């Protein structure tokens, strides 16, 4: 591996996963997985079907409880790293970690606007009394966060979808709305599970542009899972490769592509 194996997180490490092990009954979804994501980079996770990519993301966002290992996260350079392991999903989100899902998990009955307003949930204070009365400060809070949501709507060019129920939108647009909902949270770390799966070429290009814009303009550290090698090579600063729950390589796209273990994993014995 080209990266020096740091024993404690370097100051610029955003996310560090070490020795992560997760099994379901007899299935080892993750087996001693290690990787580190630096602040401000686009980091890709690749690997064959069933390699454990989604399981890794779910472990980071608190949906799965790995049996062993550590996950530490620091929102910005210089910030003391906090452990994410065993933290409830909503508490992980409160630290500025937002995500999208492999099989779009939007609130289907709600409008695009309401979905994005939920992205603002952790930044709002309204309780059952202030919301029920909806007067003064609560109204102002709703309007203030509506404005923040409109920024995201402009950014992702979905102005004309605002009031539509997300369940009625085309697949590609739903993927975009899911990204928008994650962005509305103002994340420091964005986890995207196959954001371009099932899209046509044009939609993929749009999505790739949005991901790069988010990274560059908003400085959001991004971890994405992707199968399309072309996309991975174009977008990412560094790549980690999972195979049968183990991390077999980590480095720049060129470095990873040349790695014999990766070639073997992708091409089998023929490689």
Partner 1 sequence: MESGIFFSDYRSDMALRRMPLQKVRTGLLLVGLVVFPFLATPYWLNLANQIAIATIGAIGLNILVGYTGQISLGQGAFMAIGAYGAGLLTVRFGVPFYISIPVAALITAVAGLVVGLPSLRLKGLYLAVATLAAQQIVEFVVTHWTGLTGGTEALVVPAPEMFGARLNTDGRFYWILIVVALAVALFAANLFRSRVGRAWVAIRDQDIAASAIGVNVFGYKLLAFATSSFLVGLSGALLAHYRSIVTWERFTIEVSISYLAMIIIGGLGTISGSFFGATLIVLLPAMINTVGRSLQDTAPWAATVLPYVQQGVFGLVIILFLVLEPEGLARLWRNVKDYFRVWPFSY
Which residues would be at the binding site for partner 1 (CB under 8 A)? 61-63, 88-90, 92-94, 98-99, 101, 105-110, 114, 117-119, 121-122, 124, 126-128, 131-134, 138-139, 141-143, 146-147, 150, 163, 181-182, 185
Give the nearer residue to partner 1 in terms of CB position, either 120 or 246.
Answer: 120
Bridging pattern class, strands 82-83 and 97-99: unpaired
CA distance 248 to 251: 11
Note whether 158 and 176 are within 8 A (CB).
yes
Binds Mg ion (CB under 5 A): choice among 30, 43, 47, 54: 54
- Rank residues 155 and 244 by Cβ distance to ligand ATP and give the closer one: 244
Asked if 161 contacts 169 with a C-beta cutoff of 8 angstroms, the reply is: yes
65 touching ligand ATP, by CB under 6 A: no
Q: How far is CA 137 from CA 115, 125, 128, 174, in A?
A: 22, 10, 13, 32
Tally of helices (H runs) and strands (E runs) in the chain = 10, 10
In angstroms, give the least distance from the CB of 194 to Mg ion. 7
Nearer to ligand ATP, 24 or 135 (CB): 24
Q: In the window 137-176, what residues touch ligand ATP (CB under 6 A)? A: none
Alpha-carbon span 237 to 38, nearest angstrom: 10
Identity of the residue, 75 or 208, whose beta carbon is nearer to partner 1 in the bound complex: 75
What CA–CA distance (Å, rounded) separates 109 from 123? Answer: 23
* Stretch in the footprint of ligand ATP (CB under 6 A) among 44-52, 93-101, 103-111, 208-216: 44-52
Taking CB under 6 A as the binding criterion, the range among 13-21, 53-61, 169-177, 250-258 that sits at the site for ligand ATP is 53-61
Nearest 10 degrees: Cα torsion 136, 137, 142, 145? 140
Task: List all residues 6 or more positions away from 105 whose beta carbon is below 8 Å from its beta carbon.
Answer: 178
Q: Which of 13, 54, 72, 100 binds ligand ATP (CB under 6 A)?
A: 54
Compose the 18-37 pattern: x for residues touching ligand ATP by CB under 6 A, - for all others. ------x--x-x--------
Residue ranges that bind ligand ATP, judged by CB under 6 A: 24, 27, 29, 47, 49-55, 102
């Amino acid at each position: 591996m080209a990266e020096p194996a740091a024993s404690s997180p370097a100051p610029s490490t955003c996310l560090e996963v070490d020795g992560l092990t997760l099994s379901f009954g007899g299935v080892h979804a993750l087996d001693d997985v290690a990787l580190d994501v630096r602040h401000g980079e686009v980091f890709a996770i690749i690997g064959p079907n069933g390699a454990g990519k989604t399981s890794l993301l779910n472990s980071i966002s608190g949906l799965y409880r790995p049996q062993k290992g550590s996950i530490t996260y620091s929102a910005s350079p210089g910030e003391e790293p906090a452990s994410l392991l065993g933290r409830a999903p909503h508490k992980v989100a409160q630290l500025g970690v937002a995500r999208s899902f492999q099989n779009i998990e939007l609130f289907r009955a709600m409008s695009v606007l309401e979905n994005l307003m939920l992205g603002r949930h952790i930044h709002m204070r309204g309780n059952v009394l202030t919301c029920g009365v909806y007067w003064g400060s609560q109204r102002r809070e709703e309007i203030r966060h509506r404005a923040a949501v409109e920024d995201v709507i402009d950014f992702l060019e979905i102005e004309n979808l605002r009031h539509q129920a997300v369940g009625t939108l085309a697949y590609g647009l739903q993927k975009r709305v899911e990204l928008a909902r994650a962005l509305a949270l103002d994340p420091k770390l964005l986890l995207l599970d196959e954001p371009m799966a099932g899209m046509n070429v044009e939609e993929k290009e749009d999505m790739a542009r949005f991901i790069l814009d988010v990274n560059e303009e908003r400085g959001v550290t991004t971890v994405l899972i992707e199968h399309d090698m072309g996309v991975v090579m174009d977008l990412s600063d560094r790549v980690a490769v999972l195979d049968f729950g183990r991390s077999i390589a980590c480095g720049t796209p060129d470095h990873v592509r040349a790695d014999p273990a990766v070639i073997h994993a992708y091409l089998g014995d023929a490689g």
